[in-house]
Amino acid sequence: MFEYRGFMLDSVRHMQSLDEIKKLVDAIALLGFNKFHWHLTDDQGWRFECDSFPELNTVAAVRPYSDFGKTRINEPYGRVYSKDEMREVVAYCAEKGLDVIPEFDVPGHTSALLSAMPELSCEGRKVKIKTHQGIFKDVLCLANEKTFEVITAIIDEFLEIFPGEYFHIGGDEAPSHHWKHCPHCQKRMKELGVKSYAEYQNCFMNRLIDYLESKGRHCIVWNEAARGANLDKRAIIQYWKEKEKPSIDFINSGGKAILSPFSYCYLDYDYLITPLNRVYSLNSDIPGLTDEGKKNIVGVEAPIWTEYISDINRLEELLFPRIIAVSKVALAENNKSYTEFLCDVNEIRNRLSSYNFCNEKMWTKSRTSMPLGWLKFVKDHYTIDFIKEQLF
């Protein structure tokens, strides 16, 4: 059994009520999970009530409209979870045997933060909170000492609410565009003697890791951070991007990892793309990992991103039963045949009868329909304009 058995919920792109979160926590606790990773900051919103920088609770929390794929909603969306609400989630999770791991994603995925605090960007200009999906160029200026001061002050507030051992500092999808054009970042890179933007990013991540270690917390980072070979080995990488040689090297040379390969574990993908049998087939046999490396896999986690999931019924439908397969992998109870596993699913389904399992025909489809699945996904969610914008 893996010591880290996690589930991640994105409460930025769409929020969930406390009752909805608690109901999900009930299910994952019953399935043997012990970590609830709560994604609270991103380009499209800010969900953590912050006393030191109150503009985060107003400006950064609310996007003017939502344009996720084909369903544009012309209304302001979002708010922060209050400190009392977050404490309530932490207490509820603790009762059920789960630690909450908050995620404050830096230095990318920070458009919402920068919409309230543009002085932390390279150009110091107003940044727009985002209303659609994507990877955005707006990142923190890492040469500005104020960036570190503000981020650590916010982290201090997170630590008051979330007492657990782990803290997620993101590290994914941080384009270097602004760093290339920022004289301060260029100067700082020379001073640091780093050869790549990945290493430059990690000088900042490593400072945060050091800071959090000094507070008795261990950091988790998305696995792009391992692209800079200087990543502090005290951090655990969350392996979502597959076929990443630097991540494999990190793990083989003693770094710890949590498995979340997106083509198995991202439960926001349609069943046609990631059917139940695909999820159940996940294991630690990642090409390139040595036997020693495999020992450094400390956990398994299934994220659910919510750009296209605005209601809890849809979220449950995507989650159940695939989250059962993830739990079996995390508990190392995936040695049974798939047919036997399906019997278990039926039995567990009875115990989870208040959750939405309505996608039955989809579950049993094989992955041979994957290209069709992607076609359907793209057709259902993306407009031609969005695709053009991403490609060109």
Structure tokens that stand for 40 in this block: 């609270």
Asked about 249 being catalytic, the answer comes back as no
Asked about 173 being catalytic, the answer comes back as yes
Q: Which is nearer to ligand ACM, 46 or 222 (CB)?
A: 222
- Please, are residues 308 and 66 in contact by the beta-carbon 8 Å criterion? no
72 to 75, 80, 375: CA distances (angstroms): 9, 22, 21
162 binds, among Zn ion, ligand ACM, none (CB under 5 to 8 A by kind): none
Q: Coil, strand, or helix at residue 344?
A: helix
Q: Tell me what percent of the chain is helix, strand and coil, each rounded to the nearest 5.
A: 45, 15, 40
Asked about 109 being catalytic, the answer comes back as yes
Residue of 286, 311, 308, 313 whose CA lies nearest to 297 = 286
- Name the site residues for Zn ion (rule: CB under 5 A): 122, 141, 143, 182, 184-185
Smallest distance from the beta carbon of 135 to ligand ACM, in angstroms?
A: 8
* 5: number of Cβ within 10 Å: 23
Selecting among 37, 39, 109, 132, the annotated active-site residue is: 109
Could you say which of 157, 173, 232, 344 contacts ligand ACM (CB under 6 A)?
173
222 binds, among ligand ACM, Zn ion, none (CB under 5 to 8 A by kind): ligand ACM
Binding mask 226-245 for ligand ACM (x = CB under 6 A): --------------x-----
CA torsion through residues 121, 126, 131, 133, sign = negative
240 binds, among Zn ion, ligand ACM, none (CB under 5 to 8 A by kind): ligand ACM
What gap in Å lies between CA 101 and CA 88, rounded to an integer? 14
Q: Which is nearer to ligand ACM, 170 or 365 (CB)?
A: 170
Who contacts 186 (Cβ-Cβ below 8 Å, separation ≥6)? 179, 180
Say how many residues make up the chain.
392
185 binds, among Zn ion, ligand ACM, none (CB under 5 to 8 A by kind): Zn ion
Smallest distance from the beta carbon of 208 to Zn ion, in angstroms?
A: 17
- Please, are residues 48 and 81 in contact by the beta-carbon 8 Å criterion? yes
235 binds, among Zn ion, ligand ACM, none (CB under 5 to 8 A by kind): none
281 CB-contact burial (10 Å; exposed 0-12 / middle 13-18 / buried 19+): middle
Selecting among 10, 39, 42, 43, the annotated active-site residue is: 42
Q: Which is nearer to ligand ACM, 168 or 365 (CB)?
A: 168
What gap in Å lies between CA 335 and CA 299, rounded to an integer? 17
What gap in Å lies between CA 260 and CA 263, rounded to an integer? 9
Smallest distance from the beta carbon of 315 to ligand ACM, in angstroms?
A: 17
Q: Is 85 in the site for ligand ACM (CB under 6 A)?
A: no
Smallest distance from the beta carbon of 301 to ligand ACM, in angstroms?
A: 11
Smallest distance from the beta carbon of 240 to ligand ACM, in angstroms?
A: 5
Place of tokens 């980072």: 221
Q: How many amino acids of this chain bind ligand ACM (CB under 6 A)?
A: 4
Return the residues of window 143-172 that contact ligand ACM according to CB under 6 A.
Answer: 172
Q: How far is CA 231 from the centre of its chain?
A: 19
Structure tokens that stand for 48 in this block: 């953590």
Smallest distance from the beta carbon of 177 to Zn ion, in angstroms?
A: 11
Could you say which of 81, 222, 264, 386 contacts ligand ACM (CB under 6 A)?
222
Active site residues: 42, 109, 173
Residues that bind ligand ACM (CB under 6 A): 172-173, 222, 240
